[in-house]
């Protein structure tokens, strides 16, 4: 069997780490990047995470969890500047780089510019160069496909790396808690627990028919990834079709004021994601899933690009008023499509040089 060598590099608490690096007085302190009043957390330092503070959390809730929390307004231009330096390092090794955001990317190093046999050594070199260039730490995952590399990069965070060797995949995946699977969130994990699925081993024991019956099309994905199978290639300059955010609520929301408060949070989070990816769009879509799992979506497309979260909020409130039901809501989501990147020429890079060496 011939395998590709894929690395997933993920900066550690990127926004917050940049702020701590640029202002040494913040080092060792619980900080978040985001607005303190009626805002949402864009990034949290590891010191803040110890208190349960997470990205996308409302600032008010974050402050309740950690009263001594320090709020820093985001400086996206600074983050972009450092991200450019990091991506220049990636391209020293390969041009098959698929950025996911300013702070993470997939690299296919099956063939690499420095002819280094070990993908593990390449990841170590890249992380060292990033630290020397920026003063920031990164974590990395190395394996035969994007899914496994992504899962691996979380194992030894922060400032570490993990290799899942081809002959260790089955053992690794069977022992992996369901919550650690990329693409399985809290709600899905809870549903799997109800079916006595707690680790990859129990997931692997379920048939494809069972998984598709209980989890829809996602069941096909779960069936294959637990076996270490994922066919997605690393695509340089991939053409993204949309940017989306959504929240599933543990308790259904029925109060209109609370819904509009949650919509404001989603607008701010969507704005931050678009800023992070340097993207704008013309089509804004509201997604509502009710407590009985019926779903409603409505979009608004305009001739010019949406500029900021306040623009989103005005339209989203109009879309909310068009909803057909007044039932309790279990999920709200926003997505931006018709993006400006669609105007750019798509460059497709596909190389096929299979090698099975270099994971050690």
Active site residues: 104
Helix (H, G, I), strand (E, B) or coil at 115: coil
CA distances (Å), origin 325, targets 291, 295, 321:
11, 10, 10
Helix (H, G, I), strand (E, B) or coil at 105: strand
Backbone angles phi, psi at 248, to 5 degrees: -100, 130
Render 265-314 in DSSP notation, one character per residue: HHHHHHHHHHHHHT--EEEEEEEEEETTS-EEEEEEE-SS---SHHHHHH
| 258: CB partners within 8 A, 6+ apart | none
Backbone angles phi, psi at 106, to 5 degrees: -95, 145
Helix (H, G, I), strand (E, B) or coil at 143: strand
Do 55 and 44 meet the contact criterion of CB atoms below 8 Å apart? yes
| 69: CB partners within 8 A, 6+ apart | 30, 31, 32, 48, 51, 53, 62, 63
Q: Cα(82)–Cα(156) distance, rounded to whole angstroms? A: 23
Q: Cα(143)–Cα(159) distance, rounded to whole angstroms? A: 18
């Amino acid at each position: 069997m011939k395998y590709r060598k894929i690395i997933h590099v993920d900066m550690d608490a990127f926004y917050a780490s940049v702020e701590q690096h640029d202002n040494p007085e913040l080092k060792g302190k619980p900080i978040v990047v985001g607005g303190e009043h009626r805002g949402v957390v864009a990034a949290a330092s590891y010191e803040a995470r110890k208190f349960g503070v997470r990205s996308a959390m409302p600032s008010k809730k974050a402050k309740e969890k950690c009263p001594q929390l320090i709020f820093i307004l985001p400086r996206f231009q600074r983050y972009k500047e450092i991200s450019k330096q990091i991506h220049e390092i990636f391209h020293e090794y390969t041009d098959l780089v698929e950025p996911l955001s300013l702070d993470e990317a997939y690299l296919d190093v099956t063939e690499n510019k420095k002819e280094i046999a070990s993908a593990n050594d390449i990841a170590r070199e890249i992380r060292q160069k990033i630290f020397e260039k920026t003063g920031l730490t990164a974590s990395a995952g190395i394996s035969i496909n994007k899914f496994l590399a992504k899962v691996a990069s979380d194992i030894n965070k922060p400032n570490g790396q993990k290799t899942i060797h081809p002959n260790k995949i089955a053992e690794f995946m069977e022992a992996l808690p369901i919550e650690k699977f990329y693409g399985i969130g809290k709600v899905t994990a809870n549903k799997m627990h109800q079916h006595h699925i707690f680790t990859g081993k129990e997931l692997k024991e379920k048939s494809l028919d069972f998984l598709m019956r209980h989890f829809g099309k996602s069941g096909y994905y779960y069936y294959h990834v637990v076996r270490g199978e994922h066919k997605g290639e690393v695509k340089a300059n991939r053409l993204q079709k949309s940017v989306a955010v959504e929240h599933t609520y543990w308790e259904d929301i029925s109060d209109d004021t609370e819904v509009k408060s949650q919509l404001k949070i989603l607008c701010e989070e969507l704005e931050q994601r678009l800023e992070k990816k340097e993207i704008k769009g013309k089509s804004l879509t509201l997604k509502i899933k009710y407590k009985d799992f019926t779903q409603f979506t409505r979009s608004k497309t305009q001739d010019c690009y949406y500029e900021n979260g306040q623009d989103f909020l005005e339209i989203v409130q109009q879309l909310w008023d068009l909803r057909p039901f007044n039932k309790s809501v279990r999920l709200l989501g926003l997505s931006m499509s018709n993006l400006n990147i669609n105007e750019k020429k798509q460059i497709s890079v596909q190389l096929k040089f299979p090698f099975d060496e270099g994971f050690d």
